[in-house]
A = this chain, B = another copy of it.
Amino acid sequence: MNIQDPTLSARTGSIDMAHGGGGRATAELIADLFQHHLTNPILDQGNDAALLPPVAGRLVMSTDGHVISPIFFPGGDIGSLAVHGTLNDVAMAGAEPLYLTVGFILEEGFPLADLEKIVISMARAAEAAGVPIVTGDTKVVEKGKGDGVFITTTGLGVVPDGVHVSVERAEPGQAILLSGSLGDHGVAILSKRENLEFETEIRSDSAALHTLVAGMISAAPGIAVLRDPTRGGLAATLNEIARTAKVGIHLEENAIPIKADVKAACELLGLDPLYVANEGKMVCLCEPGDADAVLAAMRAHPLGRDAALIGTVTEDDAHLVEMETEIGGVRVVDWLAGEQLPRIC
């Protein structure tokens, strides 16, 4: 993948409706910007569809739209986020991600220089992950009918033999592991949005988790459930698991890692870190006998250094998520009915 500075003919201009018209302007945008930065043998085939070699094994597909605002933020941008987000959804099926596709919806007037920054960021994230972007599409809407750029990515992956990761496999008695501290992404976005400054800059945790997952699976191929607590945070993820698998969840507040500055920012902003989005963290449910091995594998990876055992799956006909608080009480961690942080991913 070539991520050098280009000689982009249109790099100083902005998106106009012609870039979405399917004619010469569209072709030039694709060649000068997308193909230039994202180049790989499959993308360079130049067909509307990407032709891929055969893949042996069960496949996984996942798709995710990205509408985050602001599009540039501490720790990332909409481009790297769109790569990481979909890689992670594929990885949460226990799969090795193989290919990505990307669809851009651009607003008339969006600066080409910003678009180029985003495409370079996607190229870097894809290259670092070892997963090529194999085909794409660009549409343009009139000024006022979009918001700069929206990016939908889709990932294809393959599940190793013997691995069966699925939310339905959650069962009472399983250990609940968390790969690191909560709330970094959501707090970074909100701080940027509100122009808040803290002593140390809080950065998004946006990262690709598939190599961490691979390490965990080789430590314990029987892992039952993997989920990344993005929108709605850990609370939404655990409630989804509880509802789908018809189990209860018991958490220990003491055990949940949250960075001191994130905690302080949450207090200032009136946020509960359990509900704040993360983009580089995961929850893992496994048999209690596997917990030590999985935790060790997590802690051996740079993205899992702060991994912790945070609770257990319980039997509960009400499918509640309950948390033993720091002061010893028990609190129900319900879903939020409404929106806590709009456009966080």
Contacts and interface: CB of A to CB of B under 8 A. Distances in A.
A339 interface: yes
A66 interface: yes
A41 B78 CA distance: 32
Interface range, A side: 35 or more
Interface in A95-119: 95, 99, 101-105
This chain: copies in complex: 2
Given A147-B146, A150-B150, A231-B26, A49 B95 contact: yes
Interface in A247-269: none
A95 B101 CA distance: 17
A328 interface: no
A189 interface: no
Interface in A120-146: 134-142, 144-146
A337 interface: yes
B62 A48 contact: yes
B90 A49 contact: yes
B140 A23 contact: no
A66 B236 CA distance: 30
A313 interface: no
Interface of A: 16-18, 20-27, 45-67, 89-90, 92-93, 95, 99, 101-105, 134-142, 144-147, 150, 152, 154-157, 159, 166-168, 227-228, 230-233, 236, 240, 243-244, 275, 277, 335-343, 345
The list of the 4 closest CB pairs from A to B, nearest first, reads A22-B231, A22-B232, A49-B62, A21-B339
